[in-house]
Chain A
Amino acid sequence: MAKIIAGIGTSHVPAIGAAVDNGKTREPYWQPLFDKFEPARHWIEEVKPDVCIIVYNDHAHAFDLSSIAAFSIGTCENFKSSDEGYGPRPIPDVEGDPRLAWHLVESLVMDDFDITIVNDMTVDHGLTVPLSIMYDQPDAWPCQVIPLAVNVVQYPQPKGTRCHALGKAIRKAVESYDRNIKVAIFGTGGLSHQLQGERAGVINEEFDEQFLDDLAANPDKVAQISHAEWLRETGSEGIEAVMWLIMRGALDDEVEEVYRFTHCPASNTNYGMTILQNNS
């Protein structure tokens, strides 16, 4: 039977991907952040998940305003990097796991989550930056990936309680899969940042630290945060962190926080990472 071994929370700042792609990771601005990735990279090399379910949002690359789905699963064999205006990132193609992806779709729909099925899509920095953070620059990604895209760009975004419940349903789906594989789940985006308007650049480190504490120990509290509170406290783009609740829902009630840090700034963002491990 398949098993979820851990959850990884990470921001997906595009400039981190650009720093990797352009050989800037040893520059003074970036080195302190990349040094802090090292323990996470060692950890994932040890635990070696076979499949990573990456919960992220597309930023108007694969999808646009013509049709906006709350939760989408990519069922493709293969995903190419989106062209975000500078050409596609020079990274390996992302290999999917269509058999498990379809199993997730079937199980989730039977569990009352009406997932959108995507058979043709590219993946943007929301998904590929977390891969670069955890795996650096391999010739091929060492895991298969299932993209789970969430609408966090168009208000109203899915609620925290719904994201948390979806995570629980994902766990049930993975545990009913007939292959003996190790699955990791990523929650990405956040932490506090605002890219738009006169308030661009707003950061709320206190809120972010409380969020990380509560995500590990008291996720039901995080799930109760309202849209207005997310937007007000973490910035208009900080609401992305609601996606971390999907990751958290897929884990045990009691988890071990094996690694965590924040780093401000990464571009316009308070970067955050947490690794939560199931010990059951």
Chain B
Amino acid sequence: MEREQREFDDIPGTYVFDGQRNRQGYHLNMFCKSLDSEANREQFRTDPEAYLQKFPMTEEQRSAVLERDFLGMLDLGGNIYYTWKIAAFDRVSMQAAGAAMSGTGMTEQEFREMMINGGRPIKGNRYVGKED
């Protein structure tokens, strides 16, 4: 989906959940929300493809869910608090999800160490293609 540019679109590696992303990802996010119920989790566990068919999502969104492509889901309108429900379903840690979304092949342990050493530095991470 072509985005209308916003003033925060030049923040690197950040998918601000605005109205455009809400419209794009509404059904993906509401699928995630459905995993709050154990009965739904059981259906998703038993037959993930069939369960995903119940939600009017795009095929791309369904594939991103099945492949646990957390970065791809953000790009398709996912909101982190919703997609996080899939990580919780898989019993994946916040650090493992963070490492996966980094898109650099970083491991969970490397992400943990980065946090213990003070986190990802803000310097150099404020603007796309621009020093700060």
Contacts and interface: CB of A to CB of B under 8 A. Distances in A.
B126 A231 contact: no
Interface stretch (A46-54, A102-110, A192-200, A252-260): A192-200
Contact of A203 (B16, B35, B122): B122
Contacts of A60: 29, 32-33, 79, 81-82, 85
B74 A231 contact: no
Given A64-B30, A153-B79, A265 B116 contact: yes
Interface of B: 7-8, 11-19, 22, 26, 29-30, 32-33, 35-36, 71, 74, 79-82, 84-85, 88-89, 94-95, 97-98, 101-104, 111, 114-116, 118-122, 125-127
Contacts of A228: 7-8, 11
B79 to A, nearest CB: 7
Contacts of A233: 122, 126
A15 B29 CA distance: 23
22 contacts: A60-B32, A60-B81, A65-B26, A65-B29, A154-B22, A155-B17, A195-B80, A195-B97, A196-B101, A197-B14, A197-B15, A198-B103, A199-B11, A200-B102, A201-B98, A201-B111, A202-B122, A203-B122, A228-B11, A231-B16, A237-B80, A268-B94
A85 B13 contact: no
A232 to B, nearest CB: 5
Nearest to A153: B81
